[in-house]
Structure formats: C-alpha cells, structure tokens
Amino acid sequence: MTLKRIALAAAVLAFAAAAQAQVPAIDPAQLQANAASLRDQALRGSPAYPFLRDLTTDIGERLAGSEAEHRAAQWAVARLKAMGFQNVHIESFPVPGWTRGEERAELISPSVQKLVVTSLGNAGATPPEGIEAPVALFHTYADMLAQPVGSLSGKIVVVTQPMVRAQDGSGYGALAVMRFMGAAEAEKRGALAYLVRSLSTSDSRLPHTGATDFPPGVAPIPAGALSVPDAEQLDRLSLGGKPLRMHLVLTPTFKPGATSDTVVADVVGRERPDEVVLIGGHLDSWDLGTGAIDDGAGAAIATAAAKLILDMPHAPRRTVRLALFGAEEINFAGPAFAAARSVAEQSHYVVAAECDFGAEPVYAIALPGATAQTPYGAMLAEAIAPLPAYVDRKPARGGGEDIEPLGPHVPLASLQQDGTHYFDIHHSADDTLDKVDAGRMDKAVAAWVAFAYLAADSDVDFRAKPSSP
C-alpha cells in the first residue's frame, strides 16, 4: 500500500470514528427523555390528520383489488418518499376481485316493507331479477347451526343476533363468525341466500358490510347484512306467528386476475439496521364510506409515529419499518406479507404491531411474553402514563390480522384503542373523515411513537423467556 493510500485509509477511518462519536450511546435516562419528547411532539400535533385527510379526500374508498386501491398505493409511495422515508416500495400479490352490485330487499308478506341491505364481500349473486322465497329467521346463530343439513332448502336464512358494545371490541369478536362463516353454514343447510344483522352497535339504518367466506369448491350464495333497525323489525314481525316472505336482489361480480398492494418504507437503523421494529395499518377499505376509521386512521397513526422517529437528530439503533397493508378486509395481506419473508428474515423482526381500531386514543399496551416486567416495560409505562394509558401485565394475544401470520416467528404487541363507538361506524357508509377528531388521534400517535421508539433504540429482547421465580 502506498503512503498516499495509507493516508487516505486513515482519513476514512478518522471520519468514520468522528461520525460515530456524534451519535453517542443512549443511556436509560436519555431513552426515557427522548420517548417523552416524542410523545409530547405528537400531542402538540402530528402528521396523522393531514395524511388521513388527503388519503380520504384524494382517493376516497379503497376496495381490495380495485383501481382505487392501486391509486392509493401509488399515492402512499409518493407521500412517504416526500416525507423522507427510505426503501419505499410496493409489494403486490393476487387477490379475488369482487365488486358490489345492485342491493335491494323487500318484505313481501305479511306486509310489504322495504328493507335496507348490503352485500357481504366475496358473496355470490342472485339473478338480476332477484329471488323471492320464504324467510327462515333465527334469533341466534346457534339456533341456525342447530338445523340439520338440507333442512333450510329453498329459504332465505336471516340471523338477527345483536352485538354487545365493549371498549375492547370483544362483542365483535364473539359474533364475527356469524358473518365470516354464516353464509357457508346456511348453504350447507340448503339456503338460497343468507342475511345477518349487521355487526354493529349503532341504531342507524345503515347496514355494515364485511367479508364472508366459503370453503374451496363451494359456490358462494348471495349473502348480505341488514341494518340494525330492519333486523329488529323482522324480529318483531316474526313474533306474530305469520310466515315471512322476501324478495332479494344482490348482484356483486367477481373479476379474475386482481391484485392488491402493500406499501413498505423504512427508518433505517444506525447500528443494527437488519433488526426491524414493524408497525403499520391497512390501506384498503370497504367501499361504502371512505375508510377513514377503518383503516385510514390506523395507516395515518403508524405513519405519523414513524415520521416523528425519522425526524429525530439521530436514527434509532434498529430499523423502524412501516407497512401499509393491502387487502386486509378480505384477509389476504397477512399471509402474503409473511410468505414473502423467509423464516430467517422474520427472525430479524424484533417486534410487530398493527394499528387497526380507529382513531381513538390508546388506553393499554399489551407486550409479548414477560416484556411488561422488563426495564423496557417500565420505561414504556412511564412514557404513556400521562396520556393516560398503561402497560398491561397480561401478555399480548395477537396484534392485528395483517401481522398475526408472522406470529410463529415474530413477537407481537397490541396497542389497545378505545373501541366503545368503533362499531357504530365500522364497515358502513358512515366511515368518513368527519367522524375523526385530530386531537384524539394524536393521543394514539403519542402511544405508538413511544412504543416504537423505545423498541428501536433500546436493547429490549421481546423473545426473552420469563425468568424463574
């Protein structure tokens, strides 16, 4: 090596050492101070609301596999690049293309009454002129399941079981199966069509859509959701003992060859860039509203949290990866995201969490395993206490539809938002921007940024086993 090359190498090493010296190791007190500073920045006003406002205004609804969803992905790529994120790209994957058609329902007897109904995603269609048939009404889903195979032949099955309001959304979890699998179960029993009371806590006469599912090889039958008042009307009419008869028109169509998009962006870590803290929300929505709370708000909250970390003077030790998932509403994003990553790659994911429960504040954070009892858990508890929020002593049981397929190899956390009124709006035409309060959404950002920053800039090991007593 010549003297000139030796001098050049020495200069490069000196520059690298000087650059590293400018980013000192962060002690716990500094971590705590940084988390508090990020929390307070979020509370003063984060980028979440402008992101959500522009997404729902410029793009609107974003049905999985539709041109609108593709426009949303391109919009997000441009937005994230302008915000300064690195490695911004789209990951596309195949999905069943499904488009809503005409939707009408009318009670023919014992009296003529119009009913408000909407198709369930992935459901089949009636003929264009519709079908007319007797109604088999069940007040609970269990009552319908108790019917023998073939016993509901030639009937329109209606299930009117009401949903319970709960802060954590557990009322929805208890009944979601009657929308996911109800049509397939009704078909098994010979039904011509299936209608379910909307999974909603609202008294609005707006029906709430959502996905249904059919086993491979089973032709989808027409399936829809009735508005809550219309389901209650049928309940009352059924008590009179007179048979119910209905005319139903639902004409959705399937489009083969559709694809969906997940948008990925990074805040690259300064010391361990291959270790990843994954946060995100889903970019797709149902098509009745504009997807403001489900899940434009979640995408905006996660983006805002990542942006606040991106704008820090020094990048965190680990990479913060932002994923804006496509096709969550039809349950395709999570499997596609996990399948695109080897087990070896997933082993580098430190923790993952998804924001998909509206725009309300976080009241609790559940962490993987015994993490709540670690110094990280204590720091996080202190950072979110003023919001107010707390670290749950019980381990997280999941983290969101799009990240749960990572669960066998990646620790999952759950940031629990107040869902008391979420299901008043969820999956309905009322899911629009006017339902979102910017200040309350920023409280959610404050919890998310504290969680993600402390995970990325500390040495916490979410995979660690609890110590023996």
Show which residues are catalytic. 328
Joined tokens for residue 78:
């441009």
Joined tokens for residue 396:
């997280």
User: Phi-psi bin for 44: left (phi > 0), alpha (psi -120 to 50), beta?
Assistant: alpha
- Greatest CA separation for the chain: 102
What is the spatial distance between Cα 452 and Cα 469, in angstroms, rounded to a whole number? 29
What is the spatial distance between Cα 345 and Cα 338, in angstroms, rounded to a whole number? 10
Residues with Cβ within 8 Å of 84's Cβ and at least 6 positions away in sequence, in order, are 307, 310, 311
The answer to whether 316 and 271 are in contact (CB under 8 A) is no
- Asked if the bond preceding 395 is cis, omega within 30° of 0, the reply is no
C-alpha to C-alpha distances, 327 to 126, 224, 261, nearest whole angstrom = 25, 20, 8
What is the spatial distance between Cα 119 and Cα 211, in angstroms, rounded to a whole number? 9
The answer to whether 231 and 197 are in contact (CB under 8 A) is yes
Joined tokens for residue 362:
């976080």
What is the spatial distance between Cα 317 and Cα 60, in angstroms, rounded to a whole number? 37
Residues with Cβ within 8 Å of 449's Cβ and at least 6 positions away in sequence, in order, are 35, 38, 39, 41, 42, 304, 305, 308, 309
Q: CB-side exposure of 441: number of CA atoms within 13 Å?
A: 33
The answer to whether 262 and 155 are in contact (CB under 8 A) is no
Q: What are phi and psi of 145, to 5 degrees?
A: -65, -25
